[in-house]
Structure 1
């Protein structure tokens, strides 16, 4: 009985050891990733030309290795670096790259670099970005970099798209903060301030001109109104004077006479004309 128990215990331990050291295992390759199978032994050792799709993959861990690459969009924020323009001005560049891996070229990427994607980003891809900025900046003067920013970045995008795609990396987007040297920045600030001051002066001059035209128009209108009134009054006075005949004056005097003769030192009864009130 004891011997059977010992044999059973030994068999159980052997099974546990076999299970622990057996080489067969599996890898779950999630959606948005691509796995590649690497043969560690044999005449065909190296990266297979077969791309393993997503899902559960069984393999012999003693002879095979599975490396997983993400194929969804990656965003890498690089440390700033300095590039020089053709007139020796130094610009600080702080780039951020969005890209994704071409799934069909994952085996080629691993064969070429034999490194994880994070290391490839900080070595090959960073150097590619730096070279693109260096080459393009060397064809621009310092002031044209800022005044032709869109053209500057379009050329960088063209170079990156070409150089990254040939190694299996698909360019999506590049954003960069380009900081000019302090002296150029001061010149730009002064130029902008001058432009703003000129625009403000032009606006003030236009406003003053408009206000002056309003005043002239108002004064002209008032003068014309006064002239019209003066002409009207002059015409009315002329008509009144023309209508004051001796007979009309006599009638007006009779209408307003109260029947009393004025008293004078010469005595009463004098036929004097009284003023019309």
Structure 2
């Protein structure tokens, strides 16, 4: 009897241990776990860490921290062997691109997300729904740009517009896009040649405009220099003329103001008080010595 009790106890402990191991679930860091059973979805998700979950319940993890993903030709992490895709341009050209993006699920909408995607895993949502929508929605934006803009100067604005469009579209599904851009853009050789010729023509035009502007500047500088030199010459001439006119006016004034009386007075001022040794009076000379 005692042996049967011990055997039953050990069997119960073993069963409990096995059951505990089977129903012990770990939610990774940066994720929450949605619990589903035949009774439906539990409204409170599991936070990161270990949890005991009944064997008849299923847990699906959703990342609430950023995840990076790629749609590329070289099979980088998060991308299959070749997931590059084509986007249309405004002028009818198709452009092959690689795309990278980062995303997370809105924690406050996890229950709705689970219901919307019917409990599908993150990988399934990303590989089917998200990748397909990215291709379609990115094309909606690229179709407003010419191939030259996509390949050249308009690329920065294109990336920004695609990011804004994806962010707005995915928010409806509780998916938050944090970054999105074309990491590689490839056109056919003929288009690439035409684009390069267009770029060369633009660069030549810019150089021509710069040369013309430089010539205009140099001409303006020379003109200003000539004007400055003329002003200096005119100023010097004015000074010479002014000095000469001033001297002439002074001489004229002196000539007008000098009278015979003034001349005699000046002679008297200069006389030293001595009579001359000889003084003539008519034809005779009187010697005072």
TM superposition score category, shorter chain reference: 0.5 to 0.7
| 1:52 is the counterpart of 2:44 | yes
Flag the 1:159–1:14 CA change in 2: closer, same or farther, 3 A. same
Flag the 1:20–1:26 CA change in 2: closer, same or farther, 3 A. closer
Query: What secondary structure does 1:22 align onto?
Result: helix
Flag the 1:99–1:226 CA change in 2: closer, same or farther, 3 A. farther
Distance 1:178 1:197 in 2: 35
Distance 2:8 2:243 in 1: 132
TM-score (normalised: structure 1): 0.62
What are the Cα deviations for residues 212-260 of structure 1, in whole angstroms up to 9, with x where unaligned? 5544444444444444333222212322333454554555566667889
Match for residue 275 of structure 1?
none
Query: What secondary structure does 1:53 align onto?
Result: coil
The 5 A counterparts of 1:3-152 are 14=11, 17-22=14-19, 25-29=23-27, 33-39=31-37, 44=38, 48-55=40-47, 57-61=51-55, 63-76=56-69, 78-79=71-72, 81=84, 83-87=87-91, 95-102=99-106, 103-108=110-115, 110-111=117-118, 114-117=120-123, 120-121=125-126, 124-143=129-148, 152=158
What is the total number of aligned residue pairs between the two structures? 254
Displacement, 1:69?
A: 0.6
Distance 1:192 1:94 in 2: 32
* Native 8 Å contact 1:27 1:58 kept in 2: yes
Unpaired runs of at least 5, structure 2: 74-83, 187-191, 282-289
Match for residue 252 of structure 2?
238
Match for residue 229 of structure 1?
243
TM-score (normalised: structure 2): 0.60
| 1:160 is the counterpart of 2:166 | yes
* Native 8 Å contact 2:34 2:111 kept in 1: no
RMSD: 4.7
Flag the 1:235–1:25 CA change in 2: closer, same or farther, 3 A. same
Flag the 1:244–1:200 CA change in 2: closer, same or farther, 3 A. same
What are the Cα deviations for residues 117-169 of structure 1, in whole angstroms up to 9, with x where unaligned? 4x644554334333333333233323555676687456534642454234432
Query: What secondary structure does 1:35 align onto?
Result: strand
- Which region of structure 1 is more displaced relative to structure 2, 96-105 or 180-189? 180-189
